[in-house]
Chains A and B, each alone.
Chain A
Amino acid sequence: MIEVKIYGVVSLKTNVESLKTNVKNVDELLGIIPGLSRKEAKDLVLLVNGKAVKKNYEFKDGDKVALLSPAGGG
């Protein structure tokens, strides 16, 4: 089981702030984000336990995943 949290402008679109899932890898995860197509999900920044991972990363039980839209300036 992994915990996924969604941040940034995209969180207003998905209307889901977090979810728990048993997906095995990044590719599977990108297909199940509520309100987003796989294509849209692919354009999010993905961090696992605070670090960037490769596209073929296999999740481990307890991983904390953050998905966020690119930010900008303030």
Chain B
Amino acid sequence: MEIFVPIVTDLEFLAKPSLFNLYFAFASIPAGFVLAVFMALGKASSNKLISTLSRGYIYAFRGSPFFIQLFMFYSMALAFNMSLWKPLGIDWLMLHPLFLGPAILVLNTTAYTAEIFYGALMTVPKGEVEAARAFGMSRVQQFRSVVWPHLIRIAWPAYTNEVVFLFHATALVYFTLPVIDDQKDLMNKAGELFERDYNAFLHFSVAALYFLVISFAIFFVFGLVYRRLMRHLPQVQKIRFLPRWLG
């Protein structure tokens, strides 16, 4: 049992830091979700300007590494400090990693999620939308009653993927942004532990274990939601989120 002692110790050390990764992910997921719906509708818009701007945004954020986006936006936030944030009295917020981190994650996940939603939007059954139109529904009613339920069902497996990727991407945030006091995330803390005894395998494995377990929880919850979204299609083979040996 001796060999489990360092693992348990690491689990204890990394418990609080894991909350910061969770915070980064769950502070950015809701905002990214909502913005992505509008961005996807923007890309599908018949208005040329709106469509082009949305496409441009999605291309820029999907087309460049998140790691570089972090550096860019952090340096921009620093550059505007003297001219904007300080005079406005919001420098404490704008430069705080617990604000800036989720903000940049939102910008990034909005683009990826928008592309997923746009793809789903394109496959919403045209006939059903036409029926909604023929029965006198307004554009908003058509969206709420017919388009959205299809869109979210079609997009859900890919969106689940994006949420897990986003969660994993939180490991990158503190490579760029400064750590305030002891607000360390899993990667910071694992790195700190590594510097004590150079046991990279142990510390980073335990950090990875946290990612695995939380990802598992995400897959599980999103799988339950997906089952609910699919309830009207009894015959269709359901996508499995759990490995077979877990039922």
- A associates with B: no
